[in-house]
């Protein structure tokens, strides 16, 4: 409707190794390839992306804390912090922006400690299990939230 929507994309810990670790679980796509695909799809959707990868819980909290007036939405794969970080959860809740949580693997089919997402109650929705494709679907979902109906949570 107005100027292009700005989206903050956050890749959590160990994702810089994507494509190089456990390919049987996570596939062979690298993080660069994921980011390229995301940028490509962003162009089609006419949104702009800022992308961050960090292994540091504090950096992710910093970034989300600073996102409020700079972005319209957050696309996040919290990776291992999904299950342990109340700090990131609180940051997402404070940010008060539409947020979508994505996971490469189907976390609901893995070890029991991976089946609980601390983020779930503070995001709009979740996409999991489709490998790198999860990101593109998540971006689309977020775009839907931003353009259609504003921030429904």
**Chain residues that interact with its own copies, rule: CB under 8 A:** 12-14, 16-17, 20-22, 54-59, 61-62, 65, 68, 79-81, 83-87, 89-91, 93-96, 106, 108-109, 113-118, 120-131, 133-134, 137, 140-141, 144-145, 148, 152
Cα–Cα distance, 40 to 153 (Å, whole number): 27
Residue with tokens 């947020």: 99
Cα–Cα distance, 67 to 46 (Å, whole number): 19
Nearer to its own copies by Cβ, of 6 and 16: the residue is 16
Q: Would you call 103 a catalytic residue per the annotation?
A: yes
Rounded to 10°, the helix 57-65/86-95 angle is: 10
Nearer to its own copies by Cβ, of 48 and 65: the residue is 65
Nearer to its own copies by Cβ, of 49 and 99: the residue is 99
Going through 3-149 in order, the beta strands assigned E by DSSP cover: 5-11, 47-53, 73-77, 99-103, 125-128
Q: Would you call 135 a catalytic residue per the annotation?
A: no
In the structure encoding, which two tokens stand for residue 98, read together?
Answer: 């539409």
Q: Please identify which of the residues 71, 81, 103, 143 carries the catalytic annotation.
A: 103
Nearer to its own copies by Cβ, of 47 and 123: the residue is 123
Measured from the CB of residue 3, what is the shortest distance to its own copies in angstroms? Answer: 23
Going through the chain in order, the beta strands assigned E by DSSP cover: 5-11, 47-53, 73-77, 99-103, 125-128
Alpha carbon 149 to chain centroid distance? 20
Which helix (H) or strand (E) is 23 found in, with range?
A: helix 23-26
User: Which residues are catalytic, by number?
Assistant: 26, 103
């Amino acid at each position: 409707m107005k100027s292009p929507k700005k989206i903050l994309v956050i890749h959590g810990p160990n994702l810089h190794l994507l494509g190089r670790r456990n390919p049987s679980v996570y596939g062979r796509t690298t993080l660069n390839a994921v980011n390229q695909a995301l940028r490509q799809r962003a162009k089609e959707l006419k949104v702009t992306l800022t992308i961050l990868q960090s292994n540091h819980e504090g950096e992710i909290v910093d970034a989300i804390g600073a996102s409020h007036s700079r972005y319209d939405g957050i696309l996040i794969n919290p990776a291992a912090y999904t299950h342990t970080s109340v700090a990131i959860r609180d940051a997402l809740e404070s940010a008060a922006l539409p947020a979508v949580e994505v996971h490469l693997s189907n976390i609901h089919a893995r070890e029991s400690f991976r089946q609980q997402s601390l983020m779930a109650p503070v995001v709009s929705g979740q996409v999991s299990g489709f490998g790198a494709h999860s990101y593109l679907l998540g971006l689309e979902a977020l775009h839907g939230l931003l353009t259609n109906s504003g921030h429904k949570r």
